[in-house]
Amino acid sequence: MRILVTAGPTREAIDPVRYLSNRSSGKMGFAIAVAAAGRGHDVTLITGPVSLPSPAGVKTVRIGTAEEMLVAVRGHVPGCEVLIMAAAVADWRPKTFAAQKQKKDVTSATLELERTPDVLQSVLPLKGERLFIGFAAETEHVVEYAQRKLVAKGLEAVVANDVSRGDAGFEVDDNQVTLVTPDAAPEAWPLMSKREVAERLVRWVEQRAC
Ligand code: PMT
C-alpha cells in the first residue's frame, strides 16, 4: 500500500527568532513510517522540524508551518491509500508576523492569535475510499474527545494518547494509546515502545484495508 504519514510539530513564527510550537519530537510518526516501510509499504513521511534523521527507504518531506503541512499533505493524499496523521500541528499562530526581532524593553506584551488550518479537515474532500487515521493528544476525557474527532471527521480510527502521563506521549520512547474506531469498543493497548505501537497500528491498517 502507499501510506502517507505525518509527524512532529509545526512552528508558527512570531518574529525572525521566535515561534509557537509544541513538544512533539516526531518519534511516534517516524516509528510508524519505519514500521510501514519495514512491512513492504511505499511510505511518504511529511514531518515538521525534528532532530531525527530521515528513515532509510522512506520518502521524507520536511516542512515548517501548519500552512506548509497542509500544502504538502494535500499534494500527497491523491497518491496514497492510507493517511496517518500523527503530527501535532499547531492549532494557533500569531495573527501578524513581525519582520524585525521584537525588543524586550516592555514589561508585558500581548500576542494576538488566529487558528491555523485544520489539515485533516481540509483534506477530507479528497478522502474517497482512502483510510484516514487521526491521532488525538488529550490531557482529560481522552477517549470521549477522540470519539468526537472520529465522528466529526468520519475517520476509520483515532489513536488517542493521554499526554498528561510522564511515561507516554510527547518526547519519550514509549506510548500508551487507545484505538478508537466506529465499529468496536475502544481498545486500550498496554504501555509499549513507540516502535511496537507503530507495528501494531500498521498491522491493524493492513487488516482494515483488506
Ligand atoms: O512526536 P512524539 O513526541 O513522539 O509524540 C507523539 C504525539 C503525542 C505527538 C502523537 O502521538 C499525537 O498524539 N499526535 C497528534 C497530536 C495532535 O495534534 O492531536 P490533536 O488532538 O490536537 O489533533 C487531532 C488530529 O487532527 C491529529 O491527527 C492532528 O494531526 C490533526 N490536526 C490537528 C490540528 C490541525 N491544525 N490540523 C490537523 O490536521
> Ligand 1 pocket: which residues have CB below 6 Å?
8, 24-28, 66, 85-89, 91, 116, 118-120, 134-137, 149, 161, 163, 169-171
Phi, then psi, of 190 in degrees rounded to 5:
-70, 165
List the domain boundaries for the chain: 2-95+111-209
Q: What is the pLDDT of residues 121-158, one digit of tens each?
A: 999 999 999 999 999 999 999 999 999 999 999 999 99
Closest CA to 153 of 177, 187, 176, 119: 119
Kindly state the average pLDDT of the residues 167-193: 95
pLDDT given for residue 63 in this prediction: 98
Residue 62, pLDDT above cutoff 80:
yes
Active site residue 22: yes
For 189-205, give the DSSP string. Answer: PPSEEHHHHHHHHHHHH
pLDDT given for residue 209 in this prediction: 86
Residue 210, pLDDT above cutoff 80:
no
Residue nearest to atom 35 of ligand 1 (CA): 118
Cell of 159: 489513536
pLDDT given for residue 165 in this prediction: 86
Residue 30, pLDDT above cutoff 80:
yes
CATH T-level fold of 2-95+111-209: Rossmann fold (3.40.50)
Q: Which of 1, 2, 15, 22 is catalytic?
A: 22
Please tell me the distance from the alpha carbon of residue 145 to that of residue 61, in angstroms, as a whole number.
30
Binned at pLDDT 50, 70 and 90, residue 118 comes out as very high
Whole-structure pTM over 0.85, yes or no? yes
Q: What is the pLDDT of residues 70-101, one digit of tens each?
A: 999 999 999 999 999 999 999 999 999 999 99
